[in-house]
Amino acid sequence: MSHGAVPQVRLEVAPSADLLERLPAVFGAPGLVSVTCLPHHGPERTVAASIELAAHGYRTVPHLAARSITSHVGLTGMLEQLQAAGIQDLFAVAGDRRSPAGPYAWSGQLLEAIKAFSPDMSVGIAGYPEGHPGLSADQLKHSLEAKAPLASCMVTQMCFSAKTIGQYFRTLRSSGIELPVWVGVPGPVSTKKLLTMGARLGVGRSLKLARGTGMARALWKRHDLLHYDSSQLIRDLHRELAGDPLFAGFNVYAFNDFHNLPGLLQGAPLALPTGTAPDPIFPART
């Protein structure tokens, strides 16, 4: 990416009954949409939502959570459905289940199974700039080294420090890993939810460094519905990573809060899909 280029954006959403009613008003086709796989939804719902979005012109990236897949036959059936819908990009993750529901205990096994089904499918993997709360640094390193040769890209866990992300890019490069990296940033989210997620995902250190992004000001106000605004963080990351050939763009965790999303998309340097509605629909943040 050149220094003057506007970063691409892909929006991470959760399957919901009203997704296709709400999404197009703020993020139109052919936008790139990543669809999560939550334990209480299961991978079948992720696959169904991804196929429906693809039918409406979106470029979709369904998440497949290894521990939620009950059998190899079930995985093959979902991959056949996705392939028939023209979906070739996937994201493999272990998932939040404590124990596997089937034969796949971690994302590396799932990645191998997907590539065995079709070498042409592109599969993204997760990156952890601040480590993983359940894995040691050595375990993360070995896991990444095992998966990277089969992967097509990486998406980082949320991080609130541009310098930490910059160091992570340098660490990847020094390890010989040259996957395109989508940098994960939060969309609009309540500060209460953000702190809860931060504790669970192990991003506490960069939360403490988020003072310049409005995080601290929001935390000191006694209102759980206040939303964190990552516009400044995105600008800082853009400056930190501009020109880095590994930087693919931003993966915005939307939390399905589409009401507040337009303010972020308008206020940050992001390349929006051509189908997205024009600026007049974007309300000013109040």
What DSSP line would sit under 54-104, residue for residue?
Answer: HHTT-EEEEEEEGGG---HHHHHHHHHHHHHTT--EEEEE--S-SS-SSS-
CATH code of the domain made up of 8-269: 3.20.20.220
| Residue of 144, 137, 183 lying closest to 164 (CA atoms) | 183
- Write down the pLDDT at residue 159: 87
- Write down the pLDDT at residue 195: 64
- Write down the pLDDT at residue 225: 44
Chain centre to alpha carbon of residue 77: 24
- Write down the pLDDT at residue 266: 79
- Write down the pLDDT at residue 203: 47
- Write down the pLDDT at residue 278: 42
- Write down the pLDDT at residue 255: 87
The answer to whether 74 and 47 have CB atoms below 8 angstroms apart is no
- The ranges of the chain with pLDDT < 70 are 1-5, 191-227, 274-286
101: its two tokens: 């529901």
| Per-residue pLDDT reduced to its tens digit, 128-179 | 998 887 889 999 999 999 999 999 999 999 888 899 999 999 999 999 999 9
- Write down the pLDDT at residue 4: 53
| Helix or strand (DSSP H, E) at 111 | helix 107-117
pTM: 0.86
- Write down the pLDDT at residue 211: 45
| Per-residue pLDDT reduced to its tens digit, 208-218 | 544 444 444 44
